Amino acid sequence: MQSASATSYLREVEIGHKENLNRGEHECEEGLGGNENRNPERENASLFPPKRPSLRERLQAEDTHLLGNTADLTTLFVSEVSGVCITPDSLHEAVRGTGDVNGLYHLAISIQHVLDQRYPTPGYRQPTEDSSGKPVKEPVPDRRLVQDTMERLLVEIGSALYDRVGGPILLPIDPRRHNNVGGLVRSAKRMVAMLTAKGIDKKQVIVSIVATEDGVKAIQVLAAARINTNLILVSGLRHAMICVEAGPAAISIAVRPLLQAREKRQKQTFPNLLTHPGITDILAIIEYFKRHKIATRILGTDFEELAELAILSGFDAVFLSAVQLEDVRWRSDPQFPTMALRKLHEMAVFRALNGEYPCKVLANIQPGTGGFLRTLSPATREEIFDTLYPEMYRMQDVMNAVEAIVYKALGRQVALRTLSMDALCDLWERKARREEPLGNREKINHDSEECL
């Protein structure tokens, strides 16, 4: 049994505990409704942390324009982009029938337009020999016809995208012609002339050329003709300085190829973007343009992840894919350590201050002595080779795939335009024999007789 003193002590503790509970309930009631001096904004802030802006809102605050790197009309319309860029990849998707731009329709229109110019008068013509002088029974589209169709296809798709977006339209000049100054210039002038003939303002048309030695020379010629140009696949600060000297309206930095080239060169990966040497190189280009107030625009493209977009602030415009255009609308602006960001930008500023301005590399090159590569250090040349050429070769492979589709469709229409009815039936029979099994030969012969 408990003693009387112990029992009284426990009773006092219980009474004190009840008094504390009552006092707490009373204070809680005053805090919720009875205190006239409470701060609702502070209470809401403690309950719900402030919402961070989306990546799109941040880009708008920094006056960075969003441009669509897709041929999907619905995505461009919903995302409210400021312009659109056609790349070999988006062109390939269009002619394969993916997306809603209906690239196959524009291909048919392009073929019809080109063939109408080649064969303006009605009537069939039977080709008798190929380029080597050998007799042929099947017409083959020549190289000039294929090239004209490819250029017309870009113009038709570009015009359709411009009607939906209304902003600047960037068209690629075939990267397979990267070492042909005259070919690059003529192709650019033809495409700009075709777009202006469709009623599109010349100022809204920008032609993109790979920033090789011949590409830079072509830019100098086109800039003198007041054609807006964009040098793509810029690999570093020194390369960017030379490109600016040529006088383009813009330069484009492909982020993914540049970062991969730096990782390949140092033989390691950088999971932390704040320590990636490629990020520092890109920020150095942006700081160089900013400090010297260079009128040439800096465009960012080929982002592998949106975190790169958040760190690389300062682009005049960025090209985003259809998926990325959707993601930036709701993805919150990621936060990075302040000290690490400050150190990153200090390194970029230091490199930008060491860059020569104005750059006079092209001005000091004597005619007939080669391009700008011979004036660069071995490290800078290796930087350009590792960044520019692998991506350019990949783009060339994509253009080869596009040309294969164009060539096949063009060949059918050339046959219809040039062969007589007898030759068409003979062509149909020979193709059917190659495709059909041996058991169907009698049916093919019967159908051929009916055709005749």
**CA 425 to CA 428: how far, in whole Å?**
5
Torsion on CA atoms 162, 412, 113, 120, rounded to nearest 10 = 180
The CATH number that applies at residue 233 is 3.20.20.70
Question: By C-alpha distance, which of 207, 252, 213 is closest to 385?
Answer: 213
Average pLDDT over residues 384-397: 97
Shared domain for 261 and 293, answered yes or no, is: yes
Top-ranked range on mean pLDDT: pick from 24-38, 69-83, 110-124: 69-83
Shared domain for 437 and 370, answered yes or no, is: no
* 36 φ, ψ (degrees, to nearest 5): -80, -15
272 CB-side CA count, 13 A: 7
Shared domain for 213 and 236, answered yes or no, is: yes
Shared domain for 30 and 63, answered yes or no, is: no
Question: By C-alpha distance, which of 284, 416, 259, 448 is closest to 350?
Answer: 284
Whether the predicted model's global pTM rises above the 0.75 cut: yes
pLDDT at residue 9, rounded to an integer: 43
Mean pLDDT, the chain, whole residue set: 84
pLDDT at residue 30, rounded to an integer: 46
Residue 16 has pLDDT above 60, yes or no: no
pLDDT at residue 100, rounded to an integer: 72
Shared domain for 62 and 186, answered yes or no, is: yes
Condensed to tens digits (0 to 9), the pLDDT of residues 82-114 reads: 999 999 999 999 998 776 778 899 999 999 999
Task: Say which range, 92-101, 221-230, 260-269, 374-383, has the weakest mean pLDDT.
Answer: 92-101
Shared domain for 210 and 120, answered yes or no, is: yes
Average pLDDT over residues 35-48: 52
Domain count, the chain: 3
Shared domain for 307 and 324, answered yes or no, is: yes
Give the DSSP letter string of 13-61: HHHHHHHHHHHHHHHHHIIIII-TT--HHHHHHHHSPPPPPBHHHHHHH
2 CA to centre of own chain: 85
Q: What is the number of helices (H) and of strands (E) in the chain? A: 18, 8
Residue 254 has pLDDT above 60, yes or no: yes
Residue 19 has pLDDT above 60, yes or no: no
Neighbours of 426 (CB within 10 A): 17
* DSSP bridge pairs for 410: none
Tell me which of 3 and 420 has the higher pLDDT: 420
Instruction: Name the percent of the chain lying above pLDDT 90.
Output: 63
pLDDT at residue 13, rounded to an integer: 44
Average pLDDT over residues 406-435: 76
Q: Is 12 buried (19+), middle (13-18) or exposed (0-12) by CB count in 10 A? A: exposed
Residue 283 has pLDDT above 70, yes or no: yes
Question: By C-alpha distance, which of 262, 264, 286, 288 is closest to 275?
Answer: 262
pLDDT at residue 128, rounded to an integer: 43
Shared domain for 171 and 39, answered yes or no, is: no
Tell me which of 35 and 176 has the higher pLDDT: 176
Shared domain for 25 and 82, answered yes or no, is: no
Give the DSSP letter string of 275-328: G-HHHHHHHHHHHHHHHTT--SEEEEE--SSHHHHHHSTT-SEEEE-HHHHHHH
Shared domain for 40 and 135, answered yes or no, is: no
**CA 305 to CA 278: how far, in whole Å?**
14
Shared domain for 106 and 10, answered yes or no, is: no
pLDDT at residue 236, rounded to an integer: 96
Condensed to tens digits (0 to 9), the pLDDT of residues 341-386 reads: 999 999 999 999 999 999 999 999 988 888 899 999 999 999 999 9
pLDDT at residue 414, rounded to an integer: 82
- 327 is written with which tokens? 């993601």
Identify the domain containing residue 29 by its residue range.
4-47
Average pLDDT over residues 7-11: 49
Residue 49 has pLDDT above 80, yes or no: no
Q: Judging by DSSP bridges, how do beta strands 229-232 and 297-301 pair with one another?
A: unpaired
Shared domain for 271 and 386, answered yes or no, is: yes
**Opening angle at CA 137, ends 134 and 143, nearest 5:** 65
Task: Say which range, 172-176, 209-213, 293-297, 329-333, has the weakest mean pLDDT.
Answer: 329-333
